[in-house]
Amino acid sequence: EAQVTQNPRYLITVTGKKLTVTCSQNMNHEYMSWYRQDPGLGLRQIYYSMNVEVTDKGDVPEGYKVSRKEKRNFPLILESPSPNQTSLYFCASSFVGQGAGNTIYFGEGSWLTVV
Amino acid sequence: DAKTTQPPSMDCAEGRAANLPCNHSTISGNEYVYWYRQIHSQGPQYIIHGLKNNETNEMASLIITEDRKSSTLILPHATLRDTAVYYCIVRVMLLTGGGNKLTFGTGTQLKVEL
């Protein structure tokens, strides 16, 4: 089954304690990205990656890092989390290019609370 | 990407067709219309997309006006499980990563009732 899998799904952490949210897809997609969703602000893109070792900033990259060492994985790293990073996070993936094959698939989300 | 306008909420009786409108009057010739939905706080789910022709799949139908300035998503027989926020997104297909970003608006909260 085609999937985008995120872990953990729920996490409560303390300010300043580094954490990583993992994302893995099994569809051989070149493109992967991270969004956060906040009430009243909708979904906003954090970072994206066109392929292995190619990453770029989205709309709200401050306070986040990413890496793309393997095609299937795209972890989101919070080096020093702060309470304003409390949010619902989604990983997404797709093929690159035009056409129907470019549908973007989302993971189930990761609830992160920073206290 | 062009901006979209959707009604904030709609109600539909179970078993009836749900018709969700979207205005995208500034759409460009190379921009597609995509529909996603989000049930509670689950990951957004792809529904359908189109460029200029009407499209149908197992989930829904997409009707795009001839001038492409608006579209309607049709759920032919809505069920309680179709209660969700529906997002209409206009998206240009590029070969660069920027073309893969989805810009979500506030969407339409569809409530399907008995």
- For residue B42, which residues of chain A lie inside 8 Å, CB to CB? 108-109
Q: Report whether pLDDT(A112) > 60.
A: yes
Q: Which of residues 36-65 of A touch B (CB under 8 A)?
A: 37, 42-43, 45, 48-50, 54, 56, 58
Would you list the DSSP string of chain B?
----B--SEEEEETTSPEEEEEE-TT--TTEEEEEEEE-TTSPPEEEEEESSS-EE-SS-EEEE-TTSSEEEEEETT--GGG-EEEEEEEEE--SSGGGG-------EEEEEE-
Give me the pLDDT at residue B56, please: 96
Ranges of residues in chain B with a pLDDT under 70 are 1-2, 92-99
Residues 13-42 of B with CB under 8 A from A: 41-42
pLDDT of residue B94: 58
Residues contacting A115, CB < 8 A, separation 6+: A12, A13, A14, A15, A83
A43/B102 Cβ within 8 A: yes
pLDDT tens string A35-69: 999 998 889 999 999 899 999 999 999 999 999 99
Q: pLDDT band for position A104 (50/70/90)?
A: confident
Residues in chain B closer than 8 A to A98 (CB atoms): 93-95
| Beta-carbon separation of B100 and A96 below 8 A | yes
Contacts of B105 in chain A (CB under 8 A): 42
